[in-house]
Structure 1
Amino acid sequence: MRQVTMLSLFENTRQTAFSQTGSEVDFDGKPSGIIVFGKLLEAAFRVDNDRYLIFTTDDVLFEESLTITLLSSNKGVIEVVHLGGEYASGTFENVSTDKDSVYFQFIDDVRWTIKISRSPHLRIPFLSDPRGVKRSPGLKTYMTFSTAPAC
């Protein structure tokens, strides 16, 4: 997995009291038609030939959340996860990668790890994710989250 700069976001729908900003993903300046949540692109990573992992925020003070989207350039959005909570504030920083994982810090003194699988695997709702992870209900996931104290 490697970080890329060929992706950009263009605001499609504005944030409201009840919804996040929607932005279109552009690949090398070409519109894709893929809409993701978030206003600011914090980072983007190429997972494989077709999939990308993007990190976005909405630029809201004192209630910042990080939206993590796994998408396919051919099929669109695969999975969306949100990190954060009410009155939580964080800065996306200290990002690094290896073959199939991304490491970063966002809220508190915690080092987050996201491992990306080639195919979906079983996820047990309410037990599989660290505190602060919010995702749609379901039993399958491509993204596995873990945390450790930051060094």
Structure 2
Amino acid sequence: MRLLSTSEFAAELASPYSESELARSELVIDGKRTGIVVTGAVLEAALAWHNYRLAFLTDDIPFEETLRIYMFDSDLKTVDTASLGAMYSTGTFAELKLQPPNAVTFRFFGGIIWRMVLLTEQEFALPCLSDPSGVHRPFKFLRQFRVEGKPQPESARSAARDKLEDALLEGLRSEESLLTAEDWKAIRDESHAKLAERQKPR
């Protein structure tokens, strides 16, 4: 298992996002166009595992981002695919880590670390029921990788942020407070950072 460089595996935008269609990109292997076009605008990462290649692409839609995962065999045929995202929710692909022999972890949305387990043989999976909330696949009964994670509801994360904001605002407006607005801003930034850290899974 290893990450692929952009000279080994790349994606060039074939058609941009429009109101009627999502962006699509053509795969480029070892500097050569393949003619294979997939949905997605930005190649976030690619890796090789056994005879498979995996690609992680995002749509480049800031306020409703989707992560698309593709698994290709040695002939670049798609053997499995999944997308992560939710309506009116967004995410940033980050912290990709390889966990040999057959797993990777990353962050995207839901306030958690997602884990992806690669399978040497396809396994049975019930459509719409075998994946966590926010994970979507084409309707089929076999899969070549699992996506594991339990995204935190956006409402819960928003409620925690709102409660923190109210407490800080009340402190700033208090006549007994000896702190300046700049002091409260520093406290606010630090509190948000600690809140985000606490919401990470352990």
TM-score where L is the length of structure 2: 0.69
Instruction: Please list every run of 5 or more consecutive structure 1 residues that lacks an aligned counterpart in the other structure.
Output: none
Q: State yes or no: 1:95 paired with 2:146.
A: no
Q: Which piece of structure 1 moves more, 73-82 or 92-101? A: 73-82
Matched position secondary structure for 2:149: strand
Letter paired with 1:67: R
Tell me the equivalent position of 1:107.
109
Tell me the equivalent position of 1:23.
25
Tell me the equivalent position of 1:58.
59
How well do the aligned residues superpose, as a CA RMSD in angstroms? 1.5
Letter paired with 1:96: K
Q: State yes or no: 1:71 paired with 2:72.
A: yes
Q: C-alpha separation between the residues in 2 aligned to 1:73 and 1:23?
A: 19
Tell me the equivalent position of 2:49.
47
Residues 46-88 of structure 1, C-alpha deviations (whole Å, 9 max, x = no match)? 0123x11110011111100101111124142222211001111
Change (3 A) 1:18 1:101: farther
Structure with bigger RCO (C-alpha 8 Å, 6+ apart): 1
Stretches (4+) displaced over 4 A: none
Does structure 2 retain, via aligned residues, the 8 Å contact 1:95–1:102?
yes
Q: C-alpha separation between the residues in 2 aligned to 1:7 and 1:140?
A: 26
Letter paired with 1:127: L
Tell me the equivalent position of 1:150.
201
Tell me the equivalent position of 2:159.
none
Does structure 1 retain, via aligned residues, the 8 Å contact 2:96–2:106?
yes
How many residues matched? 150
CA-CA distance at 1:40 after TM superposition: 0.4
Query: If you compute each CA radius of gyration, which structure gives the higher value, 1 or 2?
Result: 2
Tell me the equivalent position of 2:171.
none
Residues 99-123 of structure 1, C-alpha deviations (whole Å, 9 max, x = no match)? 1111001113211111111221100
CA-CA distance at 1:15 after TM superposition: 2.4
Q: C-alpha separation between the residues in 2 aligned to 1:61 and 1:75?
A: 29
Does structure 1 retain, via aligned residues, the 8 Å contact 2:128–2:136?
no
Q: State yes or no: 1:2 paired with 2:53.
A: no
More helix per residue: 1 or 2? 2
Q: C-alpha separation between the residues in 2 aligned to 1:69 and 1:53?
A: 6
Q: State yes or no: 1:129 paired with 2:180.
A: no
